[in-house]
Structure formats: structure tokens, C-alpha cells
A and B are shown apart, each in its own frame.
Chain A
Amino acid sequence: MGLKEIRWHGRGGQGVVTASELIAEAAILEGNYIQAFPEFGPERMGAPIKAFTRISDEPIKIHSQVYTPDIVMVLDPTLLGSVNVTEGLSDDGILIVNTPLGEGELRAQLGFNGKIYAFNATKIAMETIGRPVANTSCAGALVKASGLVKLENLLDVTEEKFKEKLSQKAIIANKEAIKAAYEAV
């Protein structure tokens, strides 16, 4: 597989870092090496933030931020236009966006020629969790679009990671969001 680099875009408070960690932790279950970390800086609710996930079948040596991602995931559609989400992403890369727009509109807006997955994670979150928290559905979509980890491993680590923080009902809802997003892209 070699080294795969993911860059996550979202806003403070949307669970961006948690999503970056969920994918990494799922990859560990498959025997891979990982890194998950935010862009270190002030953490302010609502401000644009980035997080990064690296996955590799060999030990990961690089410790810089991710500058040339293989995959970009945008959790918040309002970032488009203010943040250059395709920076460093080549046409071989994958762009996944939580948006009510269709793929064609999105491609025209961003001028990106690579593979685009447009899906409405916020809608999925509202229907499953009942709140516009798109991080888990975005993780589910990323699993489908990238094939980097198995869906069941993402579901397992979600259960494990949330069991001390969320009610069983909320955990089930988040797992439903993951599955629905996986089916939607």
C-alpha cells in the first residue's frame, strides 16, 4: 500500500480530530502503522481547522504536516470558497466533500480534475444522530471512497472510542451514520 496521507478540513468543535483518529485506529486493527494529529495551533470553536491521518504498511518516518495529500475530506461545506481545500492534491488524488451540491457543480466550483465524491453528510447525521455532527458519516464515506480500512473495523473502533463518552443510543446512531454514508458514496 505504501504511505497514504489524508487531510481533513473542518471547523473547531465538529469532531474533525476525532474522525482523523477513528480512521487511524481502524488501520491499526489491520496491522498498519498510523499517525493522526491536528494542525497544532489555537483551538477555537467554529474556526477553520485541519487534521491529518497517515496510514502505511511500514513504519512511518515523516513527522511534518501533510503537504501533498492522497485524499482530502471536507467536513463543512461552508469552508469551500474560504479555504483552498485542493492545495497540494494532485489529479490522482481523491476529494470527498460533505455538501448538498452535486458532483458536477462541485467540480466546476473547485476546478479539480481528480476523483470527487460529493455527499450530504449533514443530512445523514440529522437522520441518524439527530444533530448536524458530520464527523462519523464523513469517516464512513472515506472508508468507502478510499478502501484504506474495512467498514467493520471503523465500526468497532467507533464503539470502543465512544463507549466512555456517549450513551449506547448515541453510539448506535453514530454507527448508523457511518453505515449510511458508506452506502451513499
Chain B
Amino acid sequence: MARSMAMAGNIAAAYSTKQINPHVVAAYPITPQTTMMEKFSEYVANGEVDTELICVESEHSAMSACVGAAAAGGRVITSTAANGLALMFEIVYIAASNRLPIIMCVMNRALSAPINIHGDHSDSMGCRDSGWIQIYNENAQEVYDTMFMGVRIGEHKDVRLPVMVNLDGFITSHKIEKVDTLEDAEVRKFIGEYEPFYPLLDIENPVTYGPLDLTDYYFEHKRQQVEAMEKALPVVKKISKEYSNYTGRNYDILESYHLDDADCAIVTMSSTAGTTKFVVDKMRSEGKKVGMLKVRLFRPFPVEEIRECLSGLKSVAVLDRSASFGGFGGPLFNEIRNAMYDVDGKPSIVNYIFGLGGRDISAVQIEGVYDRLMTAQAKMPGDVHYIGVRGD
């Protein structure tokens, strides 16, 4: 029988990693990821897992060890944040390009400089073209559940790609919430035994990973990688549905909240989606036709599903927790407006950048965005706006 436990997001990530009992975990500590690996180290020291924990000297080495272990045929998990992810950047691409289903928790945190340890999405958004599946989680419960789904998604024979499980640094990583857990046996039943493809340790059938691949075949391999991402989308949907049926907790690639009869909507990700739902509840009780779309799956980006959700709306605000310097709005805005470009009668779509470096976003501020959407439905002046920053 499942138990309800009080857990911070990081502890939920550590506990689910314990229940997955991976062959190898390699990690280097960085705020706000550290408490996950501290907790997991405790499980290792207590003999509660069979995992080989490799304490490396940097994140570059952490991901390198993960690549080696995954190529050898192991089920592999790591975790990092911000500058740690930036340091492993080179190997992040190599993990995806070698089609290695590694799971990595990223406690999303601002990148330096100036130094800031708090939550925003600039770290993982820097990796959005790296070939990793990216799932953004609203709370500790989603983090816990997504770890198990992530294992199945990444290891699926049509996919074979690494999965990044994102949670908001501090806001989710360090906030204690109620998490309904599964029994170890229930987890094992859902994730199943790992069957590696072409493991290096299968010495009867030797293979090579990452050889030289120049103008002759590199392009074909990249084209196949693109195709693997495309194939990942229905797999994420299928596994989410299977997990929902298994646990009674509903998951999908998107979460549509009161969109059916809405005039205007906010599109956002992670913990801010929760605060936005809170605001939608309040405004709906006042008879205002507002809705929200939460994007859980950012890579691969679910274009068709987003078109379905946002068609028929009059106006949409996309809330990005990262800036794209010199770009046309934030990364989520880029994708959303691009996806809607060919839709007849598309809504007007504006962008708001918020919460950089962990600046809190309040319900009042989100209500302000809805108020502006409702009063200027036809067209907002300007495309990119900011929430809660001085001098704007």
C-alpha cells in the first residue's frame, strides 16, 4: 500500500532513485541539487541499494562516467544544476548522440554571472538542442512520478534517449510537500528489468561507441536522432497514460486547465503552472473565462497537441523563466508562437519573462497578466514583457 510522506523535491528524487535501484549513479554536488545526492549517498552507505555510486571530481566527469556506464549496459542516473550542467555540456550532447537512456534530474537554477543559486530555467534551456527529452515538473509529487516514467521512456526501443527531469531549484527542490509513494515492488513492476541495446560488456558481440563519422554518415546519424525524438512523443504519451492507470495520478505531455471555454490563457511550466492554476480558480469563481496550459514535455515539443489546446482562444500570454539574449522572446514563447503561426484565427500571443534568479512570482502578478489579456484581447502593444523587474 502506498504511503504519504513529507518530502522536499530533492528527497522525492533521491527516494525514487533508490526505488529504481540503478546500476550506476555518478554525480558531483552543486546547490540546489546537493541534498538529493546526500540522501542517495545515505541509501548507498546503508546498503539499501545495489548501486555503484561514483563520486567524481566534476560534472564533466559525472556525465562522462554516466556515458561509459550506460554504454556498458547499465541503468544510470545523475543529477546537477546550473553551472554544473554548463560544465558537463559537452558530454550532455554525447550522451544523447550515443542514444544512451540516462536519467538526469536538473534542479533548475540561474547561471552565473553574477552568482545566484536560485531557481530559473536558464540552465536546462541552454541544453534544449542537446537531444535530451525534457520534462518540467510542477511539484515534488510530479518529480517522484516522472523518475519512473522517465526510465520507461528513455529505455523504450523506439526512443533510446536520455531524459532530463526538471524541477524548480529551491521552490520545488527544497519545499516540503506531501508525496504519495509506491511500494518498491510496485516500482519494480512498472519499470521492469533493463534490457540494454548493444552493451559494451557483451563481449561476444563487440561494438564501438562514438567512432569517427565525417561527411560520409554523420548527417544520416543526426537525421536518425531527429527521428528518435519524433518517435519519443507518442511514447511519452503512452507511458504517461500507463502510469496514470497504474497509480491513479493523471499525467500527460500537457496539462490543460479550464481551456475549453476560455477566452484567454497563460502558457507556462513547472511550479509557476501551479500558482497559475490557483489564480485561474480564483478568477473562475468570479466568472472570468481564463485558462492555463502547462507544458510538461518541452523536448520533443508537442506541436500538434499545443495547436489543439490553444486554437479558439482570443489571447495567450507565454510565461518564460529564462531569457534568450538577443532572441525574439523566451524559449517557450518561441516554440508556442512558431507552433501557432499557421493556425487560422490564431490567438494573439505575447511573452512575459519572469522569476530570473529565483525572484518570486505571486498570484497577484499572474492575475495582472490575465487582467491585461482580458482588457487588450485583440492586440497587446509590444511582444515581450517582464514581470516584477525594476526599471521596466
Task: Say whether B170 contacts A40, CB under 8 Å.
Answer: yes
A64 touches B6 (CB 8 A): no
On whether the beta carbons of B139 and A63 are closer than 8 Å, the reply is yes
- Residues of the A chain whose Cβ atoms lie less than 8 Å from the Cβ of B277: 61
Knowing A24-B176, A25-B6, A40-B170 touch, does A63 contact B364 (C-beta < 8 A)? Answer: no
- The interface stretch among A8-16, A28-36, A166-174 is A28-36
CB of B6 within 8 A of CB of A24, answer: yes
Q: Cα distance A37–B278 when bound, in Å?
A: 18
Instruction: Report Cα–Cα, A101/B360, bound state, in Å.
Output: 35
Q: What residues of A have a CB within 8 angstroms of the CB of B175 in the complex?
A: 35-37, 63
Instruction: Check if A62 is an interface residue, CB within 8 A of chain B.
Output: yes
A36 x B176 contact (CB < 8 A): yes
Question: Is B361 at the interface (CB under 8 A from chain A)?
Answer: yes
Q: How far is the CA of A21 from the CA of B178 in the complex (A)?
A: 11
Query: Given the complex, which residues of A lie within 8 Å of B362, measured CB to CB?
Result: 64-65, 67
Give the Cβ gap from B145 to chain A, nearest Cβ, in Å.
14
Determine whether A60 belongs to the interface, using a CB cutoff of 8 Å to chain B. Answer: yes
User: With a CB–CB cut-off of 8 A, which chain A residues contact B278?
Assistant: 61-62
Q: How far is the CA of A21 from the CA of B168 in the complex (A)?
A: 20
Shortest Cβ distance from A42 into B: residue: B117
Per-position 1/0 for A51-67, Cβ under 8 A of B: 00000000011111101
Contact B363 A28, beta carbon cutoff 8 Å = no
> Would you call B272 an interface residue if the criterion is a C-beta within 8 Å of the partner chain's C-beta atoms?
yes
Given known contacts A24-B6, A34-B6, A40-B358, A62 and B176 CB-to-CB distance under 8 angstroms:
no
Residue among A33, A37, A63 with the highest chain B CB neighbour number at 10 A: A63
Contact in complex: B360, A64 (CB < 8 Å):
yes
B174 within 8 A of A: yes
**A62 to B168 Cα, complex, angstroms:** 14
Query: Number of B interface residues, CB 8 Å?
Result: 28
Digit string of A33-47 for contact with B (CB within 8 Å is 1, else 0)? Answer: 111111010000000
Q: Answer whether A67 and B364 are a contact pair too, CB < 8 Å, given A36-B176, A40-B174, A62-B278.
A: yes
**Which positions 140-180 of chain B face chain A at CB distance < 8 Å?**
168, 170-172, 174-178
Minimum CB–CB distance for B42 against chain A, Å: 11
**Chain A stretch 38-97: residues in CB contact (< 8 A) with chain B:** 38, 40, 60-65, 67
B177 to chain A: closest residue by CB? A35
How far is A60 from B177 in the complex, measured between Cα atoms in Å? 9
B118 interfacial contact with A, CB 8 Å = yes
B199 within 8 A of A: no
CB B229 to nearest CB in A, in angstroms, measures 30
- In the assembled complex, how far is the CB of residue B178 from the closest CB belonging to chain A, in whole angstroms? 5
B186 contacts partner chain A, Cβ-Cβ < 8 Å: no
Whether the pair B363, A62 counts as a contact (CB closer than 8 A) is yes
Q: Among the listed B168, B172, B177, B274, which residue makes an inter-chain contact with A34, where contact means beta carbons less than 8 Å apart?
A: B177
Pick from B138, B174, B175, B178 the residue with the most CB of A within 10 Å.
B178
**B335 interface residue (CB < 8 Å to A):** no
Q: CB-CB < 8 A to B281: which residues of A? A: 61
The reply on B256 being an interface residue by CB < 8 A is no
Residues on A with beta carbons closer than 8 Å to the beta carbon of B130: none
* Alpha-carbon distance between A35 and B7 when the two chains are bound, in angstroms: 9
Report the bound CA distance from A38 to B168 in whole Å.
15
Q: A64 contacts which chain B residues (CB < 8 A)?
A: 275, 360-363
Alpha-carbon distance between A61 and B277 when the two chains are bound, in angstroms: 7
In the bound complex, do residue A34 and residue B171 qualify as a contact, i.e. CB atoms below 8 Å apart? no
Beyond A25-B6, A64-B361, A67-B364, is A35–B176 a contact (Cβ under 8 Å)? yes
Does any Cβ of A come within 8 Å of B271's Cβ? Answer: yes
Asked whether, in the complex, the Cβ of A33 is within 8 Å of the Cβ of B364, the reply is no
Given contacts A21-B6, A64-B363, A67-B364, contact A37 B174 (CB under 8 A): yes
Which residues from chain B sit less than 8 Å from chain A, CB to CB? Answer: 4-6, 118, 138-139, 168, 170-172, 174-178, 271-272, 274-275, 277-278, 281, 358, 360-364
- State the 7 A-B residue pairs at the shortest beta-carbon distance, nearest first: A63-B271, A37-B175, A62-B278, A36-B176, A61-B278, A40-B170, A61-B274
A-side interface residues toward B, CB under 8 Å?
21, 24-25, 28, 32-38, 40, 60-65, 67
Interface contacts beyond A34-B176, A34-B177: sample of 11 additional A-B pairs, CB < 8 Å, sorted by A: A24-B6, A35-B176, A36-B175, A37-B175, A38-B174, A40-B118, A61-B278, A61-B281, A64-B363, A67-B362, A67-B363
